[in-house]
Amino acid sequence: GGSKTPATNTPVESGDILIGGNFEVTGELASFGTSTRNGIQLAFDEINANGGVLGGKNLKFIVEDNKSSSTDAAIIAQKLIQNDKVVALLGPVTSTNSLAAAPIAVDNKIPMISPTATNPAVTKVGEYIFRASFIDPFQGAVMANFALDNLNAKTAAIMIDSSSDYSKGLGEVFKSVFTSGGGQIVSEQFFVKDDTDFNTILTSVKSQNPEVVFVPAYYGTVGPILDQAKYNVGFSENIIFLGADGWDSPELFDLAKDAANGFYFSNHYSPDIDTPEVKNFTAAYQAKFNAVPDALAALGYDAAYMLAAAIENAGSADPTVIRDSLAAIEITGISGKIKLDENRDPVKSAVVIKIEDQKQVYYTTVDPK
Ligand code: PHE
């Protein structure tokens, strides 16, 4: 971009401050988009009930459904900026969808925070792009070191969704950290997001006898992969499947049933964490949405508070002023302390979750070095 005339989203003197939401509300990632949107809505409702920002203005959240499609994610970013005149964007959830929307935010000089996108390329699109999550070089290393140190694994297979920037990036990180730690990758398999039959690649993985299988993909494919590994291909339960944040959905257990038990994945937060902040958040979320908040809800909530604090600190809802204020933000969120490095990426801890009896159980916390 660069040659386009930026949209002039000058905020009105009084009334609401408009924030756009670009989320995967329907489609194959609907569980992600819905949770993230709900976390943000809870935060804005709390902030507005406590007097709003800038001396009494309400944050008004305009959500559009990108249908889990990167094409729609770009169209919606454009619409929210040009038609709705939002001063900032929240979303999308995934790295691929965020990479599609980010150039539009940059061209129009509208700050965009993906609460959840973890691929490092997302914030590198430009200085208007932020996130509330850690990035995949950290997350992938957490799971590679978990395989080496906690599980004493020497051999691993990886199964990558080649239609996802997130999956490809995490696969590379895992491979490099696992091999430099003395492990060996014995099988590397690829699939795409619409695949439903994983029997062939699972048979190939099983023939190499890996101790662990890393599947950095989303619940919609991870569920059938785990189910088919156990019930079609006959994986023994000694082969430990490992995943990342993309496993975080209640739908994983609808799809995998008991085939996910005993496995581990990295995540941003756990509702089991026993701090007053997490307890207050889980209680408020439960009361409003009648569900236990997952990590997407927690990151959405944190991204909304980041944005509100940036507007309040800036003393202005002008998009360029919000951008500068966001770059300097420091808040304590539900998912940890959020302070951004020079790439506008938070540096924060990960948790490892163990799946037991079709439930997520907090296992351990891994801090960044
Ligand atoms: N990190 C994922 C991505 O970049 C999105 C995600 C975050 C999914 C948190 C689940 C939980 O695509």
The pLDDT value recorded for residue 1 is 35
Which residue's CA is the nearest one to ligand 1's atom 12? 94
Name the E strands within 133-200.
Answer: 155-161, 184-191
Give me ligand 1 centre to Cα 53, in Å.
Answer: 29
Which residue's CA is the nearest one to ligand 1's atom 4? 117
Which residue's CA is the nearest one to ligand 1's atom 7? 116
The pLDDT value recorded for residue 15 is 84
Nearest residue to 244 (alpha-carbon basis) of 224, 222, 261: 222
The pLDDT value recorded for residue 190 is 98
Residue 14 tokens, joined: 């009084």
Mutate which of 118, 122, 221, 265 for ligand 1 pocket (most atoms within 8 A of beta carbon): 118
The pLDDT value recorded for residue 164 is 98
How far, in Å, CA of 310 to CA of 335, rounded? 18
- Ligand 1 atom with minimal separation from the 118 CA: 4
Which residue's CA is the nearest one to ligand 1's atom 10? 246
The pLDDT value recorded for residue 2 is 40
pLDDT, tens digit (0-9, with 9 covering 90-100), for 275-295? 999 999 999 999 999 999 999
How far, in Å, CA of 112 to CA of 87, rounded? 9
Intra-chain end-to-end CA distance of the chain, in Å: 36
Give me ligand 1 centre to Cα 204, in Å.
Answer: 27
The pLDDT value recorded for residue 14 is 57
Give me ligand 1 centre to Cα 57, in Å.
Answer: 31
Is residue 327 a contact partner of residue 78, using CB atoms and an 8 Å limit? no
Radius of gyration from C-alpha coordinates of the chain = 20
Low-confidence ranges of the chain (pLDDT < 70): 1-14
ipTM score for this prediction: 0.99
Name the E strands within the chain.
Answer: 17-23, 59-65, 88-90, 112-114, 129-131, 155-161, 184-191, 212-214, 240-243, 264-267, 330-333, 336-339, 350-356, 359-366
> pTM for the complete prediction?
0.96
Which residue's CA is the nearest one to ligand 1's atom 11? 245
- Ligand 1 atom with minimal separation from the 249 CA: 10
Mutate which of 32, 36, 68, 116 for ligand 1 pocket (most atoms within 8 A of beta carbon): 116
Give me ligand 1 centre to Cα 14, in Å.
Answer: 36
Give me ligand 1 centre to Cα 123, in Å.
Answer: 14
Mutate which of 139, 166, 215, 269 for ligand 1 pocket (most atoms within 8 A of beta carbon): 166
Pocket of ligand 1 (CB under 6 A): 32, 93-95, 116-119, 166, 245-246, 248, 295-296
The pLDDT value recorded for residue 8 is 61
How far, in Å, CA of 105 to CA of 125, rounded? 10
Give me ligand 1 centre to Cα 356, in Å.
Answer: 22
Is residue 360 a contact partner of residue 334, using CB atoms and an 8 Å limit? no
